[in-house]
Structure 1
Amino acid sequence: MTTQTTPKTALITGASRGLGRSSALHLARAGWGVIGTYRSERAEAEAVLAEVRGQGVPAAALQLDVGAAASDAAVREAFVAAVRDALGRAGADGLRAVVHFAGHGVHAPYAETTAEQLEELLRVHVSAPFLLTQALLPLLGEGSRVVNVSSGLARFTNPGYAAYAAAKGAVEVMTRYQAAELGERGIRVNVLAPGAIATDFGGGVVRDVAAVGDVVARATALGRVGLPEDIGAVVPQLLSDGFGWASGTRIEVSGGQQL
């Protein structure tokens, strides 16, 4: 008689595109079930999760505006209930991992950055992962994993990204505190910091503007712009037991950008 194992399930915010999409597909290939969130692109999210299901693992798409979740406790409560329901339908008794990819960028000189731009970046990139992880704690079992997402821009500077980089710097500090305070439950929290990646982030400038891509490639030790697969392939490793002694750690995956 074949024994059916309970699927290990990861929640990925922003799973419908870019780095979140790549991570969802790589996790599925590694045997993880995926609950992916999207803000408005339901068709894109369903297409990604159809590919996930094609790997023989469960998948669900949930609508979530992380900015709204950061501002409204009722939105967070409804989302947690939806996650619990999705886990039940998949036969899982809880989450094993949360990966926070949802976000956006703002390119504006420091002197011209508006209060509204700064506040929205902080709400989406800092308050949302802070409060969503907090709300999901009852669903995270002993030994679960949380991956926050920073940026190489928190280490090096690129004029025009002061507000975005400041938010990501806050994410890195938050990660260390989460790791320290959740460690008693065996929950390990790390932060992944990609370099410049060829996605639609920032209007697709790295992907679509050849001159920008050339500048990035020349500033990168491995001599090219990063691809979504370069980041997605790392996520299953960060969640694996082989990475089990790392917590509160910053892992930059940038190909050696601006060393």
Structure 2
Amino acid sequence: MKVAVVTGASSGIGESAALQIARRGTGVILTYSSNEQGAKDTVARIEQRGGTAVALHLDLADTAGFTIFRETVAEVLRETFRRDSFDHLVNNAGFAGMAMIEDTREEEFDRLTDGLFKGPFFLTQALLPLLADGGAIVNLTSNSTLPQVTAPGYSVYAALKGAVAVLTRYMAKEFGPRGIRVNSVAPGATVTRFADDAFSKNPQIIPELAKTFTLGRVGEPDDIGMVIAMLVSEEGRWITAQDIEVSGGQNL
């Protein structure tokens, strides 16, 4: 059985990615930060469909804990999957932060940097010895990095997601000799717990936001999760170093 590590899979895009990957017969090690119950629910949904999954706690901003996390992943691989390696890594975990440039505090800048760029960078580094040759990595970016999209207040968030898109290309180049493919997926606005659960708290914004999409609706987690599952699967075997917008034509 192949095995995937999916970060931030207690809800939203990460949850969908974990479920879609598991549907293809791949075991899943998924992570959560604060939403433990959500992670347990994701595991239960995978198991109800006949799959195998394990949920682990991970603080993406705590790089000092990555060595222990790697050891825990190795233990789960041995005990649950009878493996000493895994095949796919989905760097999905993250969070949003909004402030105009003139109002951005250095502490918030550092918090976003740790969670959105430094964390995925060093987590990938920490897990690389366990990632099997011929495997695949998918990083989550955002269509806010694209030239035609500018959302005031998201300068730091978008810049860091842009950094992840560049990092994706360098990972693809450096890991290519091991047959490891690396791509990133850039969602548009998607109905998740993003930005402090803004969509649930303000459902009235959805119809107006939908007008910015060529396909006429706001994105759903499965719109993104299915693409992630494709990219780590055999169907994506000849795709690497790409930042793929999956946004239903938002802001065309």
Task: Determine which of 17, 29, 36 is the counterpart of 2:30.
Answer: 36
Give, in whole Å, the separation in 2 of the partners of 1:42 and 1:218. 35
Q: Hey, what does 2:216 align to over in structure 1?
A: 223
Equivalent in the alignment of 1:205: 198
Taking structure 1 as the reference length, the TM-score comes to 0.93
Give 1:92 deviation, angstroms.
2.5
Please state how far the C-alpha of 1:56 moved relative to its aligned partner. 2.1
**Cα distance, 1:154 vs. partner?**
0.7
Say whether 1:79 aligns with 2:73.
no
Please state if 1:116 is matched with 2:107.
Answer: yes
Which residue of structure 1 aligns with residue 88 of structure 2? 97
For 2:192, the aligned partner's letter is T
Q: Which runs of 5+ in 1 are unaligned?
A: 1-6
Q: Which of 40, 45, 50 pairs up with 1:51?
A: 45
- Report the 3-state secondary structure (helix = DSSP H, G, I; strand = E; otherwise coil) of the residue aligned with 1:126: helix
CA distance in 1, matches of 2:200, 2:68: 36
Q: Deviations over 1:112-165 (max 9, x none)?
A: 111111111111111111111111111111111011110011111111111100
Partner of 1:235: 228
Deviation at 1:57, TM superposition (A): 2.3
Equivalent-residue separation in structure 1 for 2:83 and 2:58 (angstroms) = 21
Question: Which is worse superposed, 108-117 or 80-89?
Answer: 108-117
One of 120, 132, 135 as aligned partner of 1:141: 132
Q: TM-score, normalised by structure 2?
A: 0.95
Match of 2:155 among 153, 157, 162: 162
Q: What's the CA shift for 1:208?
A: 4.3
CA distance in 2: counterparts of 1:180 and 1:139, whole angstroms: 19
1:182 is matched with 175
Deviation, structure 1 residue 22 = 1.1
Structure 2: runs of 5+ lacking an equivalent: none
Say which SS state the counterpart of residue 144 (structure 1) adopts: strand
- The secondary structure found in structure 2 opposite 1:66 is coil
Between the two proteins, the alignment pairs up a number of residues equal to: 249
Q: Any idea what SS the aligned residue of 2:249 has?
A: coil
Question: Once the 2 structures are TM-superposed, how far is the Cα of residue 93 of structure 1 from its aligned partner?
Answer: 3.2
Question: For the aligned residues, what is the CA RMSD?
Answer: 1.2
Deviating more after overlay: 212-221 vs 168-177: 212-221
Contact 1:38–1:61 at 8 Å: present in 2 too?
A: yes
Alpha-carbon shift at residue 234 of structure 1 (Å): 1.5
Does the 8 Å CA contact 1:10/1:98 hold for their aligned counterparts?
A: yes
Secondary structure in structure 2 of the residue aligned to 1:247: coil
Identity, in percent, stands at 43
Distance 1:161 1:97 in 2: 30
Please point out which of 12, 18, 26 is paired with 1:18: 12
Task: Confirm or deny: 8 A CA contact 1:196 1:206 kept in the other structure.
Answer: no
